[in-house]
Amino acid sequence: VCTQQELLPCKSLPETLLFQLLGLSIATLSTVTHYGLRFTLISNVSLDSNAYRVIHHTAFYFGICLSMTLILAALLSSAATVRESQCLTAMGFFCFALAFCGLIPAACWRYTHSTEVEDSMMDVYDFVYEEVRRNTSSFRRHELTAIHEAFLCCGKHSPFGDTTSVESKTCPPGPVHDEEQDCLQEIQDFLKKHMDFAFSL
């Protein structure tokens, strides 16, 4: 129970706790993005010329740095509130300013490169799909099968019209194969939901 003198620190502590939870949430999301099956699968398959791998690693390190900055700022603010220290308060505000300055270029990049991540992921799928269609690599066939199983999709609508053999060899059996869910559309929908959640957070 707070006394009258301790009322201000006690009212401020829940706010800093919210920032700590936000930092932990961003760290969790960054870890899921980096180590999640679908993301790592596309990253491992992508070529060096494809931008996805760079974006994948950059997003992880940016998210971890942002989350650590928010957690540190919240801890410093909590300590400053309890001890009534101007030095700790200034350090806490500095950390919040760093986090804010980091979010501005991230938000700008999000709107100026809104389709870059999506396009790079679909380019990876297109590359693997065409490699399998041309029967140039059995290893690519295993990669395409893994993508189909991860995204629960089956092939794509190809202008060549000769996709039946590809899908029969790489699509998982069951309703996904029967319904022939377009993988490019599934990748697009999955990424849109993930990006919307990340930036709303």
Is the same domain home to 44 and 95? yes
Is the same domain home to 146 and 47? no
Cα(78)–Cα(73) distance, integer angstroms: 9
pLDDT at 161: 54
pLDDT at 175: 58
Maximal C-alpha separation, the chain: 77
Is the same domain home to 145 and 53? no
pLDDT at 7 over 50: no
Model pTM score? 0.79
Token pair belonging to 87: 């030095």
Domain assignment present for residue 2? The answer is no
pLDDT band of 13, cuts 50, 70, 90: low
Is the same domain home to 146 and 59? no
Q: Is 85 helix (H, G, I), strand (E, B) or coil?
A: coil
Q: Which of 131, 149, 175 is the last residue of a domain?
A: 131
Cα(150)–Cα(144) distance, integer angstroms: 10
Is the same domain home to 123 and 145? no
pLDDT at 132 over 60: yes
pLDDT digits (tens, 9 = 90+) for 46-98: 888 888 999 999 999 999 999 999 999 988 888 888 888 889 889 988 998 99
pLDDT digits (tens, 9 = 90+) for 147-164: 999 998 888 876 555 556
Is the same domain home to 47 and 116? yes
Q: What is the mean pLDDT of residues 122-138?
A: 85
Token pair belonging to 150: 């991860």
Closest CA to 124 of 36, 183, 174, 63: 183
Is the same domain home to 173 and 95? no
2: which residues sit within 8 A by CB, 6+ positions away?
9, 10
Is the same domain home to 69 and 144? no
Token pair belonging to 121: 């992921």
Q: Give the chain's domain count.
A: 2
Q: Is 113 helix (H, G, I), strand (E, B) or coil?
A: coil
Average pLDDT over all residues of the chain: 83
Is the same domain home to 85 and 158? no
- Residue in the block written with tokens 């309703």: 175
Token pair belonging to 21: 């939870």
What domain range is 65 assigned to? 10-131
Domain assignment present for residue 197? The answer is no
Domain assignment present for residue 124? The answer is yes
Domain assignment present for residue 68? The answer is yes
Is the same domain home to 32 and 65? yes
Domain assignment present for residue 3? The answer is no
pLDDT band of 41, cuts 50, 70, 90: very high
* DSSP conformation letters of 20-81: HHHHHHHHHHHHHHHH-HHHHHHHHHS-TTSSHHHHHHHHHHHHHHHHHHHHHHHHHHHHHH
Is the same domain home to 112 and 146? no
Is the same domain home to 111 and 175? no
Asked if 150 contacts 38 with a C-beta cutoff of 8 angstroms, the reply is yes
Q: Which of 131, 148, 171 is the last residue of a domain?
A: 131
Give percent of the chain above pLDDT 70.
85
